[in-house]
Structure 1
Amino acid sequence: MTTTNSARLPPLNALRVFDVVAQQLNFRLAAEQLNVTQGAVAQQIRKLEDDLGIRLFIREAHGVALTDAGRAFLPNIRRAFELIGDATANLRTAPTRLTISATPTFAAKWLLPRLPGFVAAHPLIDLRILASEQLSSFHADGVDLAIRQGRPPFGPGLEVDFLFAQTLIAVCSPALLASLDAPMTPANLRGQVLLEDSHNLWPEYLERALGQANALGSKRMQFNQTSLAIDAAIAGQGFALASRFLVQAELASGLLVQPFTAVMRGTQDFYVVAPRRQRHPEPTQAVRQWLMSERGAELPDLQ
């Protein structure tokens, strides 16, 4: 078995005492600085000299003086303690890394546009966004917070905050709406392209919100993510359904418009979920509070 250099190192405490004695050149003053007895300082120096087999100090009437070997030894020991101090300081000020799990649509349409504000307010928290349609595991995937769409309860050992209601609206581009020959009515959706996502909520929206049993003759374009359906609507390719808060920025900027005022209250609301036993409690709480404060800027939820 090969012996490493670290196995032959003298005791770290003795080296620290050596450094302080070399600064003070006096056992009593070194003991006061280290908050130990003068005898303890002398004992540590004897142990270090015995371990090295070299005299480091010459005892004098009013203190001590470094030997030639002690003077040669001191600069490297000081440099080593400086490196330890720098490494410790860097570790203590290193950003905490938190992982947020969210669907790709929530991440792209709501979370990512707001991240610059969070980064500016919390420079010591690094966020990792895990965007996936799959339900991530807090433990297996190292997730600290999740934005989940569904209905509580989500399970034991979890802290849950309501974030957004699922309030579905129909949207399209203003150019598409202007290109229609007749005023837009629910009946006129027949023959238009309906942009579907994986939730497939158009039939329910047509019946519950618009009073249309079906939209016979409507064309369908299928996407696996709501964000793609929204982008297709912005490009004028058809009519999409989305939770209102996800398209609020596009509505405000005029990229999208609502062809109908009808809103359908869904059953799959959005929640912030975190384990009760958290790896980084304070940063996790800061992210939770930030999410809730950003929520407050949105339109009121429909009950």
Structure 2
Amino acid sequence: MSQLPPLNGLRAFDVAGRCLNFRAAADELGVTQGAVAQHVRQLEAYLGTKLFERLPKGVALTSIGRRYHGTVATAFEALRTATDDLKPEPGKVLVSVTPTFAAKWLIPNLPDFSARHPEIDLRILATEKVSSFHGDGIDLAVRQGEPPFGAALEAHLLFRQEVIAVATPSLVEGQGLPVDAAVLAKLPKLHDTHDLWPEFLRLKDVEDKSGRGLRLSQTSLAVDAALFGQGVALVSRFLVAGDIAAKRLVQITPDTMPGKQDFYLLAASKTKHNAAINTAITWLLARAEE
């Protein structure tokens, strides 16, 4: 492998190329003007080419110097960014959640967190993939699953999965609530990737007569479609509790279906918690219980 150029020379060149003045570069670096000039000369000698034209007042980059400075400046910026990403931020908490959990529960509840804890920067990573505490730099995660989740993680139960069937009041207007089996069979069904309708209908001994139905990639989209009156959605009760309370949705049958996986708040071992993480954990658990 080729050796790197002298790093002091690269740093002096980076700042001097931005300032186009050795004295200003020296002030920024906290060294003497002579030291900046010497570092730049050493770099030019190493490269075998001139990087600056020395002028009576300041310096100017040569054509080669301009091209090289763009690359060097980008490299230093990448180093700064990588270093900043590694530095702990005491007031920052990054929580990984699914897009549905983010849209239907966490974001609607965030005003309460912001009002109570304005000093904490709670950031949301909404993704379906399993995030890594180490590789993705997350502090907390909300996921469906079954314990144990591993010795390096602590798990707190947030919600039991209780699946219910919901629709807009207008969709079942005149049918009476709860709807009977014949009405349920004919109502349009909204399907997501969990595909819970076959099991739900088997529990009720109902044969579906509604046709293919709308198929969506996320539960949050199924809830949105239900809110627009496009069919009946099967969803965990806590995700639509606000819509039911506001009478935007109604539970069309009292039957519920327990899910196979509950919702858990996951965190790294307590030895890696700071005050902001502990505050976020306490708030999430209290808010979920409410």
TM-score clears 0.5: yes
| Aligned match of 2:99 | 104
Q: Of residues 197, 205, 214 in structure 2, which corresponds to 1:211?
A: 205
Alpha-carbon distance in structure 2 between the residues aligned to 1:136 and 1:161 = 17
Alpha-carbon distance in structure 2 between the residues aligned to 1:144 and 1:99 = 5
CA 8–279 in structure 1, closer or farther in 2 if over 3 Å, else same: farther
| Aligned match of 2:161 | 166
SS in 2 for 1:168: strand
SS in 2 for 1:289: helix
Q: Of residues 251, 260, 264 in structure 1, which corresponds to 2:244?
A: 251
| Aligned match of 1:123 | 118
CA 290–261 in structure 1, closer or farther in 2 if over 3 Å, else same: same
TM-superposed CA distance for 1:186, in Å, is 2.2
- What is the TM-score when the length of structure 2 is the normalising length? 0.68
CA 295–182 in structure 1, closer or farther in 2 if over 3 Å, else same: closer
Residue 262, structure 1, aligned to residue 255, structure 2: yes
State how 1:191-206 maps to structure 2 within 5 Å: 191-206=186-201
Q: Of residues 219, 222, 229 in structure 1, which corresponds to 2:215?
A: 222
Decide whether the 8 Å contact of 1:190 with 1:218 is kept in 2: no
Alpha-carbon distance in structure 1 between the residues aligned to 2:112 and 2:177 = 44
Matching residue's letter, 2:262: D
Once the two structures are overlaid, the 10-residue window that deviates more, 269-278 or 283-292, is 269-278
| Aligned match of 1:90 | none
1:202-243 alpha-carbon deviations (Å, 9 max, x no partner): 1111112x232x314433211111111011111110000000
Once the two structures are overlaid, the 10-residue window that deviates more, 190-199 or 174-183, is 174-183
Q: Structure 2: give runs of 5+ residues left out of the alignment.
A: 1-5, 13-25, 34-88
1:74-125 alpha-carbon deviations (Å, 9 max, x no partner): xxxxxxxxxxxxxxxxxxxx86111111111111111111111111211221
Residue 6, structure 1, aligned to residue 27, structure 2: no
Residue 176, structure 1, aligned to residue 144, structure 2: no
CA 177–96 in structure 1, closer or farther in 2 if over 3 Å, else same: same
Matching residue's letter, 1:232: A
1:12-34 alpha-carbon deviations (Å, 9 max, x no partner): xxxxxxxxxxxxxxxxxxxxxxx
Decide whether the 8 Å contact of 1:233 with 1:239 is kept in 2: yes
Decide whether the 8 Å contact of 2:90 with 2:274 is kept in 1: no
| Aligned match of 1:27 | none
Matching residue's letter, 1:143: I
SS in 1 for 2:163: strand
1:171-217 alpha-carbon deviations (Å, 9 max, x no partner): 00000110559982123223321001110011111112x232x3144
Q: Of residues 258, 262, 266 in structure 2, which corresponds to 1:273?
A: 266
State how 1:41-190 maps to structure 2 within 5 Å: 96-178=91-173, 180=175, 184-190=179-185
Alpha-carbon distance in structure 1 between the residues aligned to 2:271 and 2:150 = 16
Decide whether the 8 Å contact of 1:189 with 1:218 is kept in 2: no
Q: Of residues 206, 211, 234 in structure 1, which corresponds to 2:227?
A: 234
Q: Of residues 270, 280, 284 in structure 2, which corresponds to 1:287?
A: 280
The structure that has the greater radius of gyration is 1
Alpha-carbon distance in structure 2 between the residues aligned to 1:183 and 1:162 = 31
